[in-house]
Chain A
Amino acid sequence: MRLDKTAGTIARERLKCVMESEPFDCSAENLTQMKKEILEIMGRYFDLSPENYDIKIVLKNKKRAAND
């Protein structure tokens, strides 16, 4: 159960997960897994802990989002 978190925090986390993966037509788990792998690769090149940066994927062509 997620009772240790408030409803607002849960909502934010769930939304973040869903909204990030939606434009790519891929599941939230797949995206999380992919990010984990990217983090591993980045770890080989930079001396950074994952808390210090964020991975954001920006779609330049919005066509997929528009379903055509």
Chain B
Amino acid sequence: MSEAIVFTSGKGGVGKTTVLANVGVGLSQLDKKVVMLDTDMGLRNLDLVMGLENRINYNILDLLDNRCRLKQALIRDKRYPNLYLIPAATKYRNLSGYTEKFRTLIECLKKEFDYCLIDCPAGMDDGFNFAISAADRAVVVTTPHISAVRDAGRILYLLEYNNFNKVDLVINEYDKHMVRRNEVISQNDIEELLSTKASGVIPYDKKIIISQNQGIPVISLRAKVNTHFNKLTNRLNRLEIVAKKSENLAVKGECVNET
């Protein structure tokens, strides 16, 4: 069994791509086969954050338009065990006609990969609808900025409307010193306003921007923030949780049989 997870936020610049890149690396280090898809057409950035911008030959629209084969569009990240990227197109095109093809692509990828991570563009119009159309689950990224919290609220609403029942909330750029001085909204406030518990809180860390400048996801370096990325990765690795549960049940079943 495998899952497609869309990373979305409404507001731009809150860290969708950063969180996705680090969770992607984290999952691949947990021996999962992961493909990351950038659907932010025209404003693609996942390739840059991953340091793979020089290895692009084909993009996701070439694939959907049958201008290349799947193998040609998949960029393998050689630094990690099982991590692949399909970059977005640089030219913006109307995506409404592509939704069905995109769904087929994800279904096809799910046969080969454990996780398909979809990087959603900012906003809530056709790019958003395209990105969420093929996903089984969603991760909503927000920050303690009032605009980001409000937008996250709108997106959570839209996801519910689109029948998403598995949604994880991630609070990024969390500055606990500012929270202590009551200068920004706290995790509790955000959870209350959005009626959703956070699955992960990523503190503000300068190492994130430094590592991105070098094209290396911070999770593979030494940084304080990584305990939080690892925790989030484990939380999102639900396939493992489901597998463990059934394993436990199987073990219990055996015990019953023996006695």
Task: List chain A positions with a Cβ less than 8 A from chain B.
Answer: 6-9, 11-12, 14-16, 18-19, 22-23, 62-63, 65-66
User: B185 to A11, Cβ gap below 8 A?
Assistant: yes
User: B158 to A15, Cβ gap below 8 A?
Assistant: no
Beyond A16-B193, A63-B161, A66-B158, whether A6 also contacts B150 by CB under 8 A is: no
| B169-186 CB contacts (< 8 Å) to partner A | 178-179, 181-186
For residue B153, CB closer than 8 A to chain A, the reply is yes
User: A6 to B153, Cβ gap below 8 A?
Assistant: no
User: B158 to A8, Cβ gap below 8 A?
Assistant: no
For residue B160, CB closer than 8 A to chain A, the reply is yes
Q: Which residues of chain B come closer than 8 Å to A19, judged between CB atoms?
A: 149-150, 153, 193
Q: Which residues of chain A come closer than 8 Å to B158, judged between CB atoms?
A: 62, 65-66
For residue B92, CB closer than 8 A to chain A, the reply is no
User: B150 to A8, Cβ gap below 8 A?
Assistant: no
For residue B146, CB closer than 8 A to chain A, the reply is yes
- Determine the residue in chain A with the shortest Cβ distance to B159: A62
19 contacts between A and B (CB under 8 A): A6-B181, A7-B183, A7-B184, A8-B178, A9-B182, A11-B146, A11-B184, A14-B146, A15-B146, A15-B149, A16-B193, A19-B150, A19-B153, A22-B150, A23-B157, A62-B158, A63-B161, A65-B161, A66-B161
Q: From residue A60, how far is it (CB to closest CB) to chain B in Å?
A: 11
User: A15 to B157, Cβ gap below 8 A?
Assistant: no
Q: Which residues of chain A come closer than 8 Å to B183, judged between CB atoms?
A: 6-8
Complex CA gap A22/B160 in Å reads: 16
Q: Which residues of chain B come closer than 8 Å to A11, judged between CB atoms?
A: 146, 184-185
